[in-house]
């Protein structure tokens, strides 16, 4: 089980990465000043954040997924995830393992990658055996 404060920290890393990119779309992002690329990265982070929000709300009952939203944030990705969470998680988990956004995480990206991956593995176990 992931402790509440640790899950808050992990979600916060992705939220802050996303907000940082969306607030400065004209500044270099991965060596580019392309605002379309910045938008794509924000959407990718939203995809990666969704399983953690599901873990927060459905698996651990720590609160609501909306606890991490500010006015104007989109709920579309999360609502899509809720339609078929296991199938969508499987796709997201494969993407995460193949191309994690290490450069968008905090000051210690390798450590954060390992911790967020651990949360993803917790969700994977939940889907494999939802009764526990």
pLDDT of residue 17: 80
How does residue 98 score in pLDDT terms, banded at 50, 70 and 90? confident
Say if residue 103's pLDDT is above 80: no
Residue 119 · residue 52 · CB < 8 Å: yes
How does residue 122 score in pLDDT terms, banded at 50, 70 and 90? very high
Predicted TM-score of the model (pTM): 0.84
Residue 26 · residue 79 · CB < 8 Å: no
Among residues 43, 47, 40, the alpha carbon closest in space to that of 92 is found at 47
Among residues 83, 13, 18, 25, the alpha carbon closest in space to that of 44 is found at 18
How does residue 26 score in pLDDT terms, banded at 50, 70 and 90? very low
Say if residue 23's pLDDT is above 80: no
Q: What element of type H or E holds 1?
A: none
Say if residue 76's pLDDT is above 70: yes
């Amino acid at each position: 089980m992931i402790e509440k404060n640790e899950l808050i920290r992990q979600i916060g890393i992705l939220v802050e990465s996303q907000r940082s990119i969306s607030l400065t779309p004209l500044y270099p992002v991965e060596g580019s000043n392309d605002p379309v690329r910045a938008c794509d990265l924000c959407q990718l982070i939203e995809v990666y954040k969704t399983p953690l929000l599901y873990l927060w709300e459905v698996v651990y009952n720590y609160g609501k997924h909306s606890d991490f939203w500010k006015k104007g944030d989109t709920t579309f990705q999360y609502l899509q995830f809720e339609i078929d969470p296991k199938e969508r998680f499987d796709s997201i988990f494969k993407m995460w393992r193949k191309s994690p956004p290490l450069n968008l995480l905090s000051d210690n990206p390798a450590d954060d990658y390992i911790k967020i991956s651990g949360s993803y593995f917790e969700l994977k176990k939940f889907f494999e055996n939802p009764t526990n």
